[in-house]
Amino acid sequence: MSARVLVVDDDDPIRNMVMRLLQYSGAELEVEGCEDGPSALARLAEEDFQLLLIDYTMPAMSGVEVIKTLRLSHRNQDIPVIMLTARSENHHLIESLEGGASFFLAKPFEPQELLDTVGVALGMTLEF
């Protein structure tokens, strides 16, 4: 099984690390990256993806704002979303889940923790 994954984070090193980790996980994943919410929504409107990983805090649009917009109107409105965030207080978790996130992963996370969460979301096994 192969899957297309979109990783959205305004922090280039984090986005690139997540993308590389997924690309070298042993699973057949086609991984793309975006640096902000508006460009992510544009990509999601153009192409089908099976998973979205998105940062909570970004300029222009927060991850929650992107998810809410996605859930209302885009072709990928039903895909699972993993919220990645350094903000791990309960109200951030609640806001993310109420906004439409499927999973919540606090930074810093262990590589295998990320792969396990992606694996659950996609119904496959990924290994570090």
Residue 127 lies in a domain: no
Residue 87 lies in a domain: yes
**Tokens (6 digits) for 99:** 């906004």
Helix boundaries (H) for 12-110: 12-23, 37-46, 63-73, 90-99
Residue 125 lies in a domain: no
Residue 84 lies in a domain: yes
pLDDT of the chain along its 128 residues, tens only? 689 999 999 999 999 999 999 999 988 999 999 999 999 999 999 999 999 999 999 998 999 999 999 998 778 889 999 999 887 677 777 888 888 899 999 889 999 999 999 999 999 988 87
Give the total number of structural domains in the chain. Answer: 1
User: Which residue's structure tokens are 């793309």?
Assistant: 32
